[in-house]
Structure 1
Amino acid sequence: MEAKLEQVRERFEEVTAAMSDPAIYDDPQQYTELTKEHSELKELVDLYEEWKHVRKQIQGNSELIEEAADAEITEMAREENDELKPRLEKLEEDIKFKLIPKDPDDSKNVIVELRAGTGGDEAAIFVGDLFDMYRRYADKMGWKLNLLSLSESEKGGYKELTFGLEGEEVFGKMKYESGVHRVQRVPETETQGRVHTSAATVAVLPEAEEVDIDINTADLRVDTFRASGAGGQHVNKTDSAIRITHEPSGVVVECQQERSQHQNKEKAMKMLRSKLYEMEEEKLRKEREQERKSQISTGDRSAKIRTYNFPQSRVTDHRINLTLYNLEDIMKGEVDEVIEALRVQDNLDKLNAVMEE
C-alpha cells in the first residue's frame, strides 16, 4: 500500500507544479481538470502523511517499551500506543477507500430498459412488477422518473418498457441491476398450481451528454408514427411518436410518451446518445475485465444475476451468493440491502486490483 501511496504523492506534486505554471490559465478546461484532480489527491496525501506520522509515533513508543528504562515512561508509552493503534487502523481503512478508483459515470442519470424474456405473458407481467419496484425505489431515493417508451402485453404487463431516472448518484446505485432477472411463482392462469420460471432483462445505461458522444445527423433516419397505449386520447390523433435509427451502428430508439414531436425527438436523442456511449464503454469494460476478474458485472445483459422466488419469499443475488427472505419488501422498492452488498463487493474487487498493480 505504501508504494502505491508514494505514487499518489508524486502525482500530487506533479499536479501542484502544473497548476503553478501561468500558462495553465490559457486552457480553462485543463485548469478545471487539474483543480479537481488536485483536490482529490490532496485528501489522500493528507491522510497518508497523517498515517506516516501516527505510525512513527507508535514505532517510537514501541522502542521505549522494549528498552523499559523507566517504568513510568514505559507505562505512558503503552497507554499512548493503545490510543494510537485504533487511530492507525481507521486511517488505513480511510486510505484504502480513497484508493478505490471512482467511476466517472456514477454521478450520471440513467436510462433503464426492461424487456420480457422467456415465459411469455408471465414474463411481461414480471416486467411490470420490476418497473413498480424501481419506481418505488426511485421515490424513496428522491429521484425523478420519466417514462420514455412502452409496449404493452395483451394479458397485462409490458413486452418492453424504457424510463429515465434523474437524481444524485443514480448510475452509481442502479448499475448493478443490469442483467437477467428470474421470477419463480405460480401464474394466475395456472390451474394446477405449478411454479413457473420466467425472466426479464434489465439494461441500465448512463445518460450521455452531447460532449460524451458525437453524433453526425447525416447518419440518422428519423421516422414519425402514431403513439399507442396509455397517454390520453391525443396519442392516436397525431404522428407525435419518434423513431430514430443510427444507420452506422443499427441502433434504433423510440419515444412516444410526450404530446409533441419535438419533445419525443429530444428524449429519443438522449436515449440514442446513451446507447452509443454504452457500446463504447462496453468495449473498454471487456478490455479491463481481461486484466481484472470481478464477480460483479455491471454491463453483461446476458448474465443471470438475480432470482425472485415467490413461494419461498426469497430473493437470491447469484453474483455474491446473497439470499434474503423479504421478497415482499424488496418488490415494494426496499432494494437498498442488495445494492449496498453489491457495491461493497465491487469496491473490494477494485481495491484488490489496485493493490496488485
Structure 2
Amino acid sequence: MVRNYNLWDDPTKSNEVLVKLADSLKVVNALKDLRYKAEEAKLIAQLAEMEAIDYGLFKRAYRASLDVSKLLDQYEMSKLLRGPNDVEGASVTIKAGSNGICPEIWAEQLLNMYVRWADKEGYRGRVVDKCCCKNGGVKSATIEFEFEYAFGYLSGETGAHCLINFPNGSFPHEATLACVDVVPLFLETSPDLQISDEDLLFSSPSLPGERQSIAKPAACIQHIPTGIAVRGTTLQIR
C-alpha cells in the first residue's frame, strides 16, 4: 500500500496510512514484550526448581507473571476498543447535582476516585479545572487523561452517578447525584473543525465591575448547536 506512489499525492490519505502503520507497529511491539515476559517467567520458575525452591527466584517469577497478565489484559482491551475515538485521551467533567445530601461532597469523591485510579494504573491524569465550595466539596471539576485508549476506557462513565444512603437499614434517603461527561482529548491529531462565530455564546458570571467569586468560572463559551460548553477558572478578576 505504501509503494503506491499515487498515495503521496493525497496528504490526508497518506497520513491515515502512516497512522495505521504506526498502530500496527505498536501491536507487534506489545506482542514481543508479552512473549519476552512469558519466557522470562518460565525461565525463572525453572531455575527456582533447580535451586531447590529459592524464595527470591519464585518472587521474581511471580512479579514477571503479573507483568505478563497486565500486558495481556491491555492487549485484549485494545482489541475490544474499536470506536472511532477510543484510542484518544479523555477529558472528564464532573458536576454536582442539585438534589440530595451534600452533592458537592459526592462530586469531590468522584473526582478523587478518578485521580486515584489513574495513579494506581500509572496513567497520566491532571486536574485542569476545579470549582470549589465554601463548605467543602466541588461544584464542578475537569480532569484530562493523556494516554492512549483513555476515552475507550472512560466513555462508559458518562451519565448520572447516584449515591444512596441506607441509614440503620431503613428506607433510603433521597439520592445524591453527580453528572459525569467524557469527551475525547486528541493527543496527536485533531479533527479539522469549522466553527462559526455565530454558533458560539460567550457569557460571564459577573457583570462588568462586579467582584468575581473564586467559586465561579471566569468565563464560559458554549457551542449552541451541540450544547458543549468550555469554562475557565484560571484567570480571576479582583
Determine if the TM-score, normalized by the shorter chain, exceeds 0.5. yes
Alignment partner for residue 137 of structure 2, among 150, 154, 157?
157
Q: Does 1:178 align with 2:158?
A: yes
SS of the equivalent of 1:175 reads: helix
Q: C-alpha distance in 1, partners of 2:81/2:227? A: 33
SS of the equivalent of 2:164 reads: strand
Change (3 A) 1:202 1:249: closer
Deviation at 1:138?
A: 2.2
Change (3 A) 1:122 1:97: closer
Q: C-alpha distance in 2, partners of 1:182/1:119? A: 11
Q: Does 1:146 align with 2:124?
A: no
Change (3 A) 1:100 1:174: closer
1:266-281 map, 5 Å = none
SS of the equivalent of 1:110 reads: strand
Structure 2: gaps of 5 or more residues: 29-75
Q: Deviations over 1:250-291 (max 9, x none)?
A: 5443211x2379xxxxxxxxxxxxxxxxxxxxxxxxxxxxxx
1:222-301 map, 5 Å = 222-224=202-204, 225=206, 227-229=212-214, 241-256=218-233, 258-259=234-235
Q: C-alpha distance in 2, partners of 1:99/1:147? A: 30
Q: Which has the larger radius of gyration?
A: 1
Alignment partner for residue 15 of structure 2, among 32, 53, 57?
32
Q: TM-score, normalised by structure 1?
A: 0.41
- The answer for the alignment partner of 2:4 in structure 1 is 21
Q: What is the letter of the counterpart of residue 184 of structure 2?
A: P
- The answer for the alignment partner of 2:184 in structure 1 is 206
Deviation at 1:242?
A: 1.8
Change (3 A) 1:227 1:170: farther
Contact 1:111–1:205, Cα closer than 8 Å, also in 2 = yes
Q: How many residues align?
A: 180
Structure 1: gaps of 5 or more residues: 1-15, 45-95, 262-357
SS of the equivalent of 1:229 reads: coil
Change (3 A) 1:23 1:112: same
Deviation at 1:133?
A: 0.8
Contact 2:101–2:176, Cα closer than 8 Å, also in 1 = no
Q: What is the letter of the counterpart of residue 4 of structure 2?
A: D
Change (3 A) 1:150 1:35: same
Q: Deviations over 1:179-223 (max 9, x none)?
A: 222223368xx9x98753322221111125653532223432434
Deviation at 1:118?
A: 6.3
Contact 1:146–1:165, Cα closer than 8 Å, also in 2 = no
Q: What is the letter of the counterpart of residue 102 of structure 1?
A: R
Q: C-alpha distance in 1, partners of 2:191/2:226? A: 19
Deviation at 1:98?
A: 8.7
Contact 1:223–1:243, Cα closer than 8 Å, also in 2 = yes
Q: C-alpha distance in 2, partners of 1:241/1:98? A: 39
Deviation at 1:169?
A: 2.8
Deviation at 1:145?
A: 0.8
Q: TM-score, normalised by structure 2?
A: 0.58
Contact 2:199–2:223, Cα closer than 8 Å, also in 1 = yes
Change (3 A) 1:26 1:129: same
Paired-residue identity, %: 27
Bigger share in helix = 1
